[in-house]
Amino acid sequence: MKKNFARFLALRYLKPKRTSVSIITLLCVAGVTLGVWILVVVMSVMLGFEKRTKELLLGFEYHVFVEQKPSPRSSAYPMRDWRPLLDQIKTTPGVKATSPVVEGIVLVDGNGMRIGQRMRGVEEGDSHVLEEIKLEEGSLASDNPDVQPVVVSDAVMLSLGLNLGQTVDVYSQAHFDKVYEAINDAKNPRLSGTFGESINTAIKGLQENSTIIDDQEPELTVITRDAVASAIAALEPILDTTLEKKLKPSEREIVGNAHFFLTQLGAPQDNALTYDRNQLNQALQPLHEIANLPAQSEEDDEQAFAQLEELVLPKQLSVTGWYKQPPHVNAPSMLMPLFLSQELYGFSELDLVHSIGIRIEDAYQADQFAEQLQQSLPPGFYASSWITRNEDVFFALANERRMMYFALFCIMVVASFCIMVTMITVTVEKRREIGVMKALGATAAQIVSVFAVQGVVVGIIGSLSGLGLGLLTLYFRDQVQAALGLIGMDPFPAAVYGLERIPAAIDPVSLTIIGFGAFLLCSLAALPPAWSVARLDPAKALRD
């Protein structure tokens, strides 16, 4: 009996009786069970939602992007001569597929309504994207060579009231940039009237103070530093930002190219600078032409506005398919062949793209792969993973899960305080019995263990029952969702989240932490009142 002294009394005190203490004990067990149950369900659902979001995003995203930009944090600009780099990346270990990417915001006009949408060009043969998004109807291919196909999301179909086979007009940023440039070209005067004489003087000075070296390849032109300095001084007033809106953008661009060539591409040689002769002619010839153009005429205005009318014509595309786009995923809502997207952005002539998309064996190792790939990229090219590009979304999801974990864990803390109150009530009620036990020789440790075992038992029962209820709820979550939907309390409506069922992911580590945490809180909650009563004077307890 002495061996099971603490356990015997603890279990006896826990036996249900028609007393307030027994009812409070049952409520404590129910509180722990409820806390563990809610924590298991909510944490598993939120973890499943985070994983499902990543899976849906991977259906649209490449794992790694390579872009050309001045620095890792700056905006990228269109890539030139990207094909050799694409071939180099294909040979990198771990690469499954590569594809050029043209992507951006476009204005879509359909049935008299206009909306802005995110567009992506898909290269022929890059079937991964179309396979992952699972087209509901139609395809990106067209048997009719006169049809320019586009696949849109269900949101676009609904917003514009589209049907398969209908035509939409699409405008890109390039349209508006060209329109702005054409308008400025039409309304602004030519620089020949104000700067023509100074430009001609500068070019003449360069010619008179230059020496041609034609006995080597490439041919070189050596110009004195004074002549170059005079020419640069003549061009700089034209590039003054205060004149930016008073001159034609196309002419300012020619002046800027010539200024850059003279200031940056000359090789120092004593009191002179050496230039490639052909490149020098290519920079100065357009400058000479615009400096000697006549004043603006009505014919020029008519030509400029005729060009403007041609520029504003949109790209007419035929809707050949549609797919479901999850509302909470930042994914393109329009897919079209790569060559059409290049035409839309004015990239066709120079064969430009925005970036190179890469798919690797393990998408969740994209950060490490991007770091390794960065070491082999030429200067000015930067690799970034899909995880980095969407880190704000993932941080928000993870932070929401942590905050919810903390808030719900407080339920178990409250339950542990209830256990502490229960133990205090028991010690007050059993004060005389404790005095008798101490008078008969029970040690303080034995008294503490009596009430500590009660906390342990409550913790074990509450944790196990909470874990069981949580796992059972997750297993029947579809039925639970249907029942809640009948009373208008669907936690994951498909119209909002685009999910067919409540997502859930069971993490054994999280379950262990939740169960052990609840057990530990209950066990610790019983110690303060137990330690307090263990120090009780038996004579005083029996006298009171």
pLDDT digit string, tens, across residues 136-187:
888 887 777 778 889 998 889 988 998 898 999 998 877 666 666 666 666 6
497 pLDDT more than 80: no
Coil, helix or strand for 331?
A: coil
The CA distances from residue 319 to 132, 158, 400, in Å, are 19, 13, 39
pLDDT greater at residue 476 or residue 172: 476
Q: Which of 262, 295, 328 is the last residue of a domain?
A: 295
Residue 303 lies in a domain: no
The residue type at 424: I
Q: What is the pLDDT of residue 468?
A: 94
Average pLDDT over residues 306-324: 74
192 pLDDT more than 50: yes
Q: Which of 389, 407, 441 is the last residue of a domain?
A: 389
Do 148 and 280 belong to one domain? no
pLDDT greater at residue 3 or residue 74: 74
Residue 267 lies in a domain: yes
Residue 182 lies in a domain: no
Do 121 and 259 belong to one domain? no
Cα atoms in the 13 Å half-sphere on the side-chain side of 156: 32
Residue 161 lies in a domain: yes
Residues 6+ apart with CB under 8 A from 188: 245, 246, 247, 248
Q: What is the pLDDT of residue 424?
A: 78
Do 269 and 361 belong to one domain? no
User: In whole angstroms, what is the distance from residue 120 CA to residue 339 CA?
Assistant: 11
112 pLDDT more than 90: no
Tokens representing 105 are 């915001």
pLDDT band, residue 469 (cuts 50/70/90): very high
pLDDT greater at residue 173 or residue 67: 67
Q: Which domain holds residue 165?
A: 64-175+311-389
20 pLDDT more than 80: no
| Least confident segment among 181-190, 285-294, 399-408 | 181-190
Do 406 and 505 belong to one domain? yes
Q: What is the pLDDT of residues 39-62, one digit of tens each?
A: 999 999 989 888 888 888 887 788
Q: What is the pLDDT of residue 214?
A: 76
The torsion of the CA quartet 539, 540, 542, 544, rounded to 10 degrees, works out to 160
User: In whole angstroms, what is the distance from residue 380 CA to residue 70 CA?
Assistant: 6
User: In whole angstroms, what is the distance from residue 422 CA to residue 24 CA?
Assistant: 6
pLDDT band, residue 372 (cuts 50/70/90): very high
Q: What is the pLDDT of residue 246?
A: 65
Residue 25 lies in a domain: yes
Do 446 and 497 belong to one domain? yes
Contact 120, 331 (CB under 8 A): no
Do 449 and 480 belong to one domain? yes
Do 90 and 165 belong to one domain? yes
Tokens representing 370 are 């991007």
- CB-based burial, 217-255: b 16+ in 10 Å, e otherwise: eeebbbbbeebbebbeebbeebeeeeeeeebbbebbebb
Residue 124 is classified by DSSP as T
For residue 321, the surrounding DSSP H or E stretch is: strand 315-323
Residue 301 lies in a domain: no
For the chain, the domain total comes to 3
pLDDT greater at residue 440 or residue 337: 337
User: In whole angstroms, what is the distance from residue 520 CA to residue 149 CA?
Assistant: 62
Average pLDDT over residues 363-380: 90
User: In whole angstroms, what is the distance from residue 108 CA to residue 317 CA?
Assistant: 10
For residue 74, the surrounding DSSP H or E stretch is: none
User: In whole angstroms, what is the distance from residue 315 CA to residue 36 CA?
Assistant: 58
Facing residues of 381 across strands? 68
Contact 522, 455 (CB under 8 A): yes
Do 195 and 237 belong to one domain? yes
Residue 183 lies in a domain: no
Taking only Cα atoms into account, the Rg of the chain, rounded to an integer number of angstroms, comes to 38
pTM confidence score: 0.65
Do 76 and 47 belong to one domain? no
Tokens representing 133 are 């998004």
Cis peptide before 218 (omega within 30 of 0): yes
Average pLDDT over residues 351-374: 90
User: In whole angstroms, what is the distance from residue 120 CA to residue 154 CA?
Assistant: 16
Do 145 and 222 belong to one domain? no
Cα atoms in the 13 Å half-sphere on the side-chain side of 390: 26
Closest CA to 152 of 284, 332, 27: 332
326 pLDDT more than 70: yes
Q: What is the pLDDT of residue 1?
A: 43
302 pLDDT more than 70: no
Q: Which of 354, 389, 424 is the last residue of a domain?
A: 389
Facing residues of 359 across strands? 97
The region, left, alpha or beta by phi > 0 then psi within -120 to 50, assigned to residue 142 is beta
User: In whole angstroms, what is the distance from residue 373 CA to residue 61 CA?
Assistant: 18
Do 465 and 334 belong to one domain? no
Whole-number average pLDDT of the chain? 80
Q: What secondary structure does DSSP assign to 257-269, as a single string?
A: HHHHHHHHSPEEE
User: In whole angstroms, what is the distance from residue 402 CA to residue 220 CA?
Assistant: 67
Residue 304 lies in a domain: no
User: In whole angstroms, what is the distance from residue 442 CA to residue 57 CA?
Assistant: 65
Contact 526, 427 (CB under 8 A): no
Do 384 and 403 belong to one domain? no
Edge-to-edge strand order for the sheet containing 220-224? 210-213, 220-224, 272-276, 267-269
Q: What is the pLDDT of residue 175?
A: 64
Contact 235, 242 (CB under 8 A): no
